[in-house]
C-alpha cells in the first residue's frame, strides 16, 4: 500500500501501525517525529494540500477527515482516480471505529496501542466532582469548543462539563468577557490549534487555567492511550 494522510492524528496512527505504507503527509503532521527521516513527502497543509504533488506520488489511498479537509480538494483527488477515505469523528466511540476502519484499509492488523487505548478509557475511575469548563481553541478572535466535538466528549468522560456544549455551533466565537461571565471552574488551554502558553492565555481569565497538550485532547491515534493520564494531571495542576 502507498498511503497519504491529510490528518495529523491519522498520520501518526498509520505510521506506527503500518510501517512503510505512508508516503505523504501534511506540513502539520508532527508525529512520529522522524517522519521526514522516513522519506515521507510533505504535501502542503490540511486546508491547502498540493493536489498535483499528491497525484504524482501515486497513492493507493488518501486519508482525510470531513472537518479538517476541504471537499473540493478531495473531489479533485477522486477525479484523478485516487481512492479517498473520509473519516468523521465526533466522540470517542467514533474515533475507535474510524481508526479500525482506516488501519484495515491500510492493510494493517489491529494494533496493540488501539486495544490499550480502549482499556485506558474503559477503566476510568469516577471523578471526585464534576467541573464546568471553558475550552478556548483560538484567540483573536476567541473561539471555544461548542457542541458535538471529540475533545468535548473526552473531557466529559473525565468529569468536565463544557460550558458551551449546547451551543448551536461546534466552534463558536465568543467574546472573552462572555467567557469570563460563564463562571467556569477551570479554563482549559490546549497548545493547538492555537498555541496557548503560560504567557499567552491564562492572563485573560480569573478562573484557574489548565495548560494541556492539544495532541492528547484533540488527536485520535496512539496518543489516546496516555490521554486520560495527561489530561487528568493538567486538570489537577490547575486546581491546586
- Segment 22-31 shows an average pLDDT of 96
Q: Which three cell numbers stand for residue 4?
A: 497519504
Residue 45 has which C-alpha cell? 497543509
pLDDT tens digits along 63-109: 999 999 999 999 999 999 999 999 999 999 999 999 999 999 999 98
pLDDT digits (tens, 9 = 90+) for 123-136: 998 777 899 999 99
Rounded (5°) CA angle 192-24-56: 135
Q: Which domains does the chain have, with CATH numbers?
A: 3-110 (3.40.50.1980), 126-239 (3.40.50.1980)
Cα→Cα distances 41→53, 117, 130, Å: 9, 29, 44
User: Angle 8-17/92-105 helices, nearest 10 degrees?
Assistant: 50
DSSP class of residue 125 equals P
Q: What is the pLDDT, as a whole number, of residue 238?
A: 85
The pTM (predicted TM-score) of the whole model is: 0.92
Amino acid at each position: 500500500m502507498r498511503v497519504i494522510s491529510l490528518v495529523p492524528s491519522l498520520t501518526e496512527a498509520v505510521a506506527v501501525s503500518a510501517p512503510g505504507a505512508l508516503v505523504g503527509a501534511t506540513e502539520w503532521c508532527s508525529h512520529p517525529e522522524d517522519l521526514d527521516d522516513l522519506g515521507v513527502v510533505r504535501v502542503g497543509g490540511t486546508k491547502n494540500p498540493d493536489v498535483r504533488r499528491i497525484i504524482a506520488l501515486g497513492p493507493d489511498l488518501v486519508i482525510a477527515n470531513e472537518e479538517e479537509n476541504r471537499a473540493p480538494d478531495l473531489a479533485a483527488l477522486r477525479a484523478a482516480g485516487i481512492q479517498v477515505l473520509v473519516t468523521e469523528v465526533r466522540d470517542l466511540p467514533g474515533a475507535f471505529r474510524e481508526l479500525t476502519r482506516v488501519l484495515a484499509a491500510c492493510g494493517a492488523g489491529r494494533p496493540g496501542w488501539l486495544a490499550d487505548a480502549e482499556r485506558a478509557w474503559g477503566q476510568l475511575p469516577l471523578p471526585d466532582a464534576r467541573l464546568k469548563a471553558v475550552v478556548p481553541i483560538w484567540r483573536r478572535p476567541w473561539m471555544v469548543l461548542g457542541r458535538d466535538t471529540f475533545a468535548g466528549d473526552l473531557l466529559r468522560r473525565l468529569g468536565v462539563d463544557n460550558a458551551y456544549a449546547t451551543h448551536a455551533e461546534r466552534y463558536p466565537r465568543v467574546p472573552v468577557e462572555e467567557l469570563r461571565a460563564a463562571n467556569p471552574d477551570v479554563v482549559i488551554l490546549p497548545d493547538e490549534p492555537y498555541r496557548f502558553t503560560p504567557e499567552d492565555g491564562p492572563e485573560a481569565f480569573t478562573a484557574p487555567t489548565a495548560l494541556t497538550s492539544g495532541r492528547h485532547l484533540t488527536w485520535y491515534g496512539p496518543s489516546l492511550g496516555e490521554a486520560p493520564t495527561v489530561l487528568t494531571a493538567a486538570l489537577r495542576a490547575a486546581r491546586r
